[in-house]
Each structure stands twice: as structure tokens, then as C-alpha cells.
A = this chain, B = another copy of it.
Amino acid sequence: MKICTTVQEMRQARARLGSVGFVPTMGFLHEGHLSLVRRAREENEAVVVSLFVNPIQFGSPDDLANYPRALERDIALLKEEGVACVFTPEAAGFYPEDFATQVDVGGVALELEGPSRPGHFAGVATVLVKFFNIVQPQRAYFGQKDAQQCAVVQRFVRDLNIPVEIVTMPTWREADGLAGSSRNSRLTEAERHRAPVLHQALCRARDLARAGERRRVVLEKAMREVLAQAGLTDIDYVTVVDPGTFQARDVVPDDALALLAVRLGAVRLIDNLPLG
């Protein structure tokens, strides 16, 4: 497995590979990431994984500094998975001092995580356009856990005619329902114990929707009640949207998506579930 730390090294390594499946990550890998890597191996001649905690997608320096890192363990995991190449650029060379370009996405990017985390999706879109230009993959793999991110990526890839196929995979969950996330490692034991209630709230909305409920206020209230019963009240959003626009409608469509962003102590967790 080749480890590239500069753009030039990565370009040279890529030139020696056939079709490439690309899995962009911020490291601290969990089973969700590995499920993307395995799918990428099935569908391409080689897999490239980036491990890069992208500074420009973090709103707060604290959040960036606290993001968990485990580079050596990640590299060992990817070696076992038969990955051809790992790309871990240094932030300083990747974003030179006079770096001045940003990919701004409107539409789906303006909802939910958009206002909650100003600049976040622009940071994600900008780093991915850079990665796509350097790695030149045939396919790139993303987890549905970040459902809105998947929609944002599909939008700018289509808008900018980027020649890459975006593949999304279902959220990987722990046995108790908690969605896989690198941020889970920052939960205290007590918080970890309560965290599955996010998924339980989403399941409650799905059960109601399957029983015919289409009123958004009713679905949202039910989710908030499940969260409140577990003492989770620091809520960024709890909502049900049209998955095409990520906008809330009073009467939710059959393929509606329930989403939430909730703080447990110092950790902000997100999750979502299709209600169809």
C-alpha cells in the first residue's frame, strides 16, 4: 500500500492505477468507512482512501482541534482491506497561504446543516473538487449517515460536470442502533449509553409514517418526545424533509427523510432515516 503525502506523489501513484474507487474520509475509521472501502474494491481495479481532517470545513477551531485522529491505526486497517493508496496531505501544502477559491453550493446546501454550520458545505465541496481533480476516480463512495452531504455532493458533481460516479451506501449502525461516526469516540460512557435514542426517535417517526401519519408537526413532536424522555434537549434540528430539496413540507411525501442533529455534552451527533 502506497502512502502519499503530497499532491505530486498522489498524481504519480494514480497514473499507475486502472479504474479507481475513491473513499474520502477524515480518518479515525469505523466499520461504516470500511463498508465503503469494501464496496469500492468490488467495483474498481484499485481503491484510494484519503485521510485528511479538512480544516476549511470546520466552523470552530475547537471542533477542528478536538476531532479524533488515529493515523497509524487507520493505515493498518486500510492495508488489511487491500487498499492501493492512502492520501494524507499536509494541510499547509494543500491550502497554500494565498489559497483563494471556494466551491459554493446553493439549493440543498442551504437547509439544516447549512445554517447550523456556516461554511461547512463550501469547505466539503472545495476539498472534494480538489481530491477529484488529483485522484481522478471513476467512482467515489459516501455514507448515507451524512444524507445532506450526499445530496450536496451529487448536486455540485452534476452542476460542474465532474466525471465521477457518486455511490452512496446505507448508514452502518452499532448493534444498539447508534450510527457509526468518528465523533462517537468523544462520548463519555454515560453519553454513549444514551446515544442510541437518536436512532430510536427516528424509528418512532418511521413507525408513525408507516401507519399513515403524514403531518410533519406530529412526526417532529413524536421524535422530540423520545429525545426528551432520555434527557436530550440540546437540539439543533429535528425535522422531516423532501429528500430532493431537503426542505420541510407541512404534509410530508411518501419518500420523506427524517433527520436530526443533537448535542450530547460536547459532542454534536447527526442521524437520519428514510420514512418510506
Chain A contact residues, CB within 8 Å of chain B: 7, 11, 98-109, 125-126, 129-130, 133-134, 136, 155-156, 159-163
Contact = CB atoms under 8 A, between A and B. Distances in A.
B155 A101 contact: yes
B159 A101 contact: yes
A101 B161 contact: no
Contacts of A126: 160
Nearest to A101: B159
B159 A133 contact: no
Contacts of A134: 161
Contact of A160 (B104, B106, B129, B155): B129
24 contacts: A7-B161, A11-B163, A100-B105, A100-B107, A100-B108, A100-B109, A100-B155, A101-B103, A101-B105, A101-B125, A101-B155, A101-B156, A101-B159, A101-B160, A103-B103, A103-B104, A104-B104, A129-B129, A129-B160, A130-B159, A133-B161, A133-B162, A134-B161, A136-B163
Which of A7, A104, A161 has the most chain B CB atoms closer than 10 A to its own CB? A161
A109 B126 CA distance: 17
Nearest to A95: B159
B159 A99 contact: yes
